[in-house]
Amino acid sequence: MSVGSFGYGGNQRSYSFPFAGAGRLVGIVARTQMPDVPCEQVFFRAHPDNTGDVFIGGNDVSSVQGMILEPGDYSPYIPIQNLNILYYVCENTASHLQYFVVR
């Protein structure tokens, strides 16, 4: 799977990822560490049928700290080595978070 070229630090780099995968994280209203999934980049999507927001961030993520995804929102691709570096919390248990990783 090729996602094209990115400018990083003034240099053009071409990326081709031999692995891509997707997953779903259930709605949990307490801060929760994401699963151990090695990756190079990830993007997140709050399902459009969610009834509340989802918050993504470090181990201090909360409804006032972190990136907010409203129902149907996507994040940009985030360069990261493993999903377990991140945490998430949902406003309610009816909401969930989807992710797509490449490595």
pTM beyond 0.85: the answer is no
pLDDT value at residue 20: 84
Write down the mean pLDDT value for the chain. 87
Cα separation, 9 vs 102, in Å, equals 21
pLDDT value at residue 11: 61
> What is the CATH number that goes with domain 20-102?
2.60.120.10
Inter-residue contact 55 to 67 (CB < 8 Å): yes
Cα separation, 46 vs 68, in Å, equals 9
pLDDT value at residue 18: 74
pLDDT value at residue 2: 41
What are the residue boundaries of the structural domains of the chain, listed by start? 20-102
pLDDT value at residue 3: 46
Inter-residue contact 46 to 88 (CB < 8 Å): no
pLDDT by residue for the chain (103 residues), tens only, comes to 444 444 455 565 656 667 788 899 999 999 999 999 999 999 999 999 999 999 999 999 998 899 999 999 999 999 999 999 999 999 999 999 999 999 8
